Chain A
Amino acid sequence: MAQAFDLIVIGAGPGGYVCAFRAAQLGLNVALVEKRATLGGTCLNVGCIPSKALLSSSEHYVFAKQHAAAHGIKIGSVEIDLPGMMKKKDAVVSKLVGGVAQLAKARKIAVVSGTATFVSANTVSVSNPGAQPAELTAKAIVIATGSAPVELPFMKFDGQTVVSSDHAISFDSVPKRLVVVGGGAIGLELGSVWSRLGTEVTVVEFLPKIVANYDDDVVRNFARLLQKQGIRIETSAKVVELRRDGPIPVLVAEREGQKLEFPAEKVLVSVGRRPFTDGLGLEKVGVKIDDKRRIIVDGQLRTSVPGIWAIGDVVAGPMLAHKAEEDGVAAAEWIAGKHGHVNWDLVPAIVYTDPEVASVGLGEDAAKQKGIAVKVGKFNFAANGRALAADAADGYVKIVADAKTDRILGAQILGRGAGELISEVVTHMEYGGSAEDLGRTIHAHPTLSEAVKEAGLAVSKSALHAL
């Protein structure tokens, strides 16, 4: 006998659990199906959160080791306690996933543990090893099963030498050499962590530049700063094989016919993520997918099958937790017959290295490619008092505005705290704000955010602390 709900959400990542929470707030009777032992999905368990814990810890280590003395702090010998660092990371994760579980319970959401498979358009079967599958039925079902790391066919993940981000947050010792295949956010963040802890890190990128979505000038400066920290970056290099015949594995890549060899104890493959819909039985109920295996949805996140919705990484768009959350809220509202809203043009993206890089909307290069006339304002953190005091003088803020209307079309920030700073630009953009609006809004002094204001002023060449 199937248990009946108003809504079943499959997958308890940031998209799924937020969707369930919002639906419960709106009075729906919700089941949340999750195959992991804990809620929170990739993001909380093996993604954004643990990597940020390691990034913070390793940043403290670098400070203690390299920068404290310049601040007049004598520390003496500094050592890494890797198990201690992992313990800290695990504590952050378990606090958060526990919090999500508590909230789910308080909202009277039925959390069902197991792997869901569609039986029909309104019924799923949830199976657990060694137990009877349970059948759940609902008027609406949201697929929020997220994504998984893409595997290279000639070097599959083995968890030892060839690893994904899932493993690279849990090495039990600091590897001597690490090759990161793919210079995107995940690879650069985890590469940074291990580089700071003493690993020789080489990033091998297929494209001519790392973090390919950013403007050329931002990437150039970013890459230079990473290289200064000791990370080696090899672009336009195609990985062809992993040789394991010697004493240590050697990653072989090709650039313009030349062979490049990178010996390494560990190879982190971070070439992207793929929508994860394995085992859902989409074909059985007729949910259509596109050529990249993403579930096809309309403007209200409805799939080709009435009553089935899809959100987050399984649909087209940036695979980012905050985008999935907005999808989840909107889907819950639409399902409850209310008006949902997501502005998919304004999804900020951040690389949490040091310095961070953050972007939203249209970059300068992209605007030029599209033939949009823009004015660009830049302001260097080197001219910002707070940045100088905080050793955060690297990088700059860049605001891209429509040449005619001055409306902000996008922003890219390279610098410490870029991820926090980008938010106010998103807010201005959400309300149709102009660069002048940004420049005429009071920013407290001294703060890093003054650089954002000055970049807004710089669009009309009226920055006060720069020429």
Chain B
Amino acid sequence: MAFIDVKIPPMGESISSGVLAKWHVKNGDLVKKDQPLFELETDKITSEGTAEAAGRISLNVEVGAEVKIGQIVASIDTSAAGTEKSPAAAAPAAPAAKPGAPAGEVPQSPAVRRLAADTGIDPATVAGSGKGGRVTKGDMLSAAEAHAPAATPAPAPSPVPPSPAGGIAPTAFPVAAPTLPPSPPAASAPQRQTRRKMTQLRQRIAQRLVAAQHEAAMLTTFNEVDMSAVMALRAKYQDDFVKKNGVKLGFMSFFAKAVVHALKEVPGVNAQINGDEIVLNHYYDIGVAVSTEKGLMVPVVRDCDRLGMADIEKAIADSAKRARDGKITLADLEGGVFTITNGGIFGSMLSTPIINPPQSAILGLHAINDRPVAVNGQVVIRPMMYLALSYDHRLVDGKEAVTFLVRVKQAIEDPTRLLLSV
């Protein structure tokens, strides 16, 4: 028999561990070469691991376990490749690796084991502060604290569901006779809460957003923009644009260009605080927020100043697709100087976006609605959009922020300005 190890692949410099979020195969399955085996979730991205060779797989790690880069999570018996005609029949016959007790697992201290049983938190998912990365009781206590929702105290996850006698929801069980011993509610009773573990990505998003609000002196300036000109351009050139470039002309490329234009005019916005230094960026890598099933991601479109409109549209479409498919890489997410987020696609009228640190500003786009506006003393109906620019007041003055947003507005209302750089 020949075995090959299935290891967690390297993900980039800043990532050393992740959570094995899903097994696509079962213990004892016959796998094909390049077949997706598992989904790995890190604090930045989610990615897939594939089989390097065909054979029968035995899994060493349970779903939800924290795994290190390079860690062996399964092994494939390559001598078993193709020997079984019916993999389904063979599966039950291979109970070799018991997922519950992988060999070489770090023994946990008694208090940690007790807390694991009490809270349902798997110590393998908790970052250990003890010797050799061991999980301590304190680590488990803080994990339990982070796990519990802030508003409601965590109920003891007793194997017996809360009984009516416990006073959880007496009115829901009118038939329970008071003289009977407490009995579990009927299986069909709707659960009033469900719990699931926060994914690492979600935790990371939460941390970053809160950190951004703590660290930056964040405030938001608003404006509105008349979209008529851009809409007219799109109507006029859409067919030719699609024919030539194979991609639709959207609003985002206009806004990306408008942002580059405004950043050049107000370079103070294209800056970051690093310790006690101010770092001025002389490049225009713009992040475009994309909503995915797993949460918000901000892939970065590089050098927007040098790209044509079609290139920008292609880049956005491509990275949005990869983000939604979970194929995005770390490199795609790093190094942006400014972010554009579009709540308008979900119908948002107005919002105050949160800066994506260490950037100093973020532009929020919103829904386009026909509204009456005054033009040359006449009330006319125009497709209007509210714009919001959240910025870090530590670095960006009000004058700069307002000017920046006005420049964006002007460029969108009169795109010729982009051509002439005025």
Contacts and interface: CB of A to CB of B under 8 A. Distances in A.
Contact of B137 (A405, A430, A441): A405
B53 interface: no
Interface string B92-123: 00000000000000000111101000000000
Contacts of A441: 110
Interface stretch (B126-134, B159-167, B174-182, B378-386): B126-134
Given A405-B136, A406-B141, A432 B130 contact: yes
A404 B134 contact: no
A440 B114 CA distance: 10
B136 A433 contact: yes
A431 B111 contact: no
B111 A406 contact: yes
Contact of B138 (A407, A430, A440): A407
A434 B138 contact: yes
Contact of B141 (A404, A432, A437, A440): A404
A356 interface: no
Nearest to A428: B109
A441 B141 CA distance: 19
A151 interface: no
A313 interface: no
B110 A407 contact: no
Interface in A338-397: none
Contact of B131 (A402, A432, A437, A440): A432
Interface string A394-417: 000000001011110000000000
A441 B107 CA distance: 13
Contacts, number: 50
Interface string B286-318: 000000000000000000000000000000000
A407 B141 CA distance: 11
Nearest to A440: B110
Q: How large is the interface on A (under 10, 10 to 19, 20 to 34, 35 or more residues)?
A: 10 to 19
Contacts of A430: 131
Contacts of A436: 110-111, 114, 137
Nearest to B138: A405
A298 B111 CA distance: 37
Contacts of B111: 406, 433-434, 436-437, 440
Contacts of A434: 109, 111, 136-138
B136 A432 contact: yes
Most A Cβ at <10 Å: residue of B109, B114, B128, B131: B109
Nearest to B131: A431
Interface in A432-453: 432-434, 436-437, 440-441
B134 A437 contact: no
Contacts of A405: 136-138, 141-142
Nearest to B136: A432
A406 B131 contact: no
Nearest to B113: A440
Contacts of B141: 404-406
B110 to A, nearest CB: 3
A222 B129 CA distance: 36
Task: Tell me what chain A mostly uses at the interface: helix, strand, loop, or mixed.
Answer: loop
Contacts of A407: 136-138
A68 to B, nearest CB: 42
A405 B138 CA distance: 4
Q: How large is the interface on B (under 10, 10 to 19, 20 to 34, 35 or more residues)?
A: 10 to 19
A3 to B, nearest CB: 41
A440 B137 CA distance: 12
Contacts of B130: 431-433
Contacts of B138: 402, 404-407, 432, 434
Nearest to B128: A432
Nearest to B111: A436
Given A431-B130, A432-B129, A406 B110 contact: no
Interface string B147-166: 00000000000000000000
Contacts of B129: 432
A437 B140 CA distance: 13
A44 B111 CA distance: 41
A19 B142 CA distance: 41
B106 to A, nearest CB: 11
A378 to B, nearest CB: 20
A262 B68 CA distance: 68
Contacts of B142: 405
Nearest to B145: A404
B355 to A, nearest CB: 32
Contacts of A404: 138, 141
Contacts of B109: 431, 433-434, 437
B99 to A, nearest CB: 26
A434 to B, nearest CB: 4
Contacts of B128: 432
Contacts of B136: 405, 407, 432-434
A440 B136 CA distance: 14
Nearest to B130: A432
B186 to A, nearest CB: 38
A32 to B, nearest CB: 32
A406 B114 contact: no
Nearest to B110: A440
B110 A431 contact: no
A431 B138 CA distance: 12
A434 B110 CA distance: 9
Nearest to B129: A432
Interface in A93-131: none
A402 B137 CA distance: 11
A375 B128 CA distance: 22
A185 B128 CA distance: 38
A406 to B, nearest CB: 5
Contacts of A440: 110-111, 114
A432 B134 contact: yes
Interface in B188-209: none
A407 B135 CA distance: 12
Contacts of B112: 437
Given A406-B111, A430-B131, A440-B111, 9 more contacts: A406-B138, A407-B136, A432-B138, A433-B136, A433-B137, A436-B111, A437-B110, A437-B112, A441-B110
Interface of B: 109-112, 114, 128-131, 134, 136-138, 141-142
Interface of A: 402, 404-407, 430-434, 436-437, 440-441
7 contacts: A402-B138, A404-B141, A407-B137, A431-B109, A432-B138, A437-B112, A440-B111
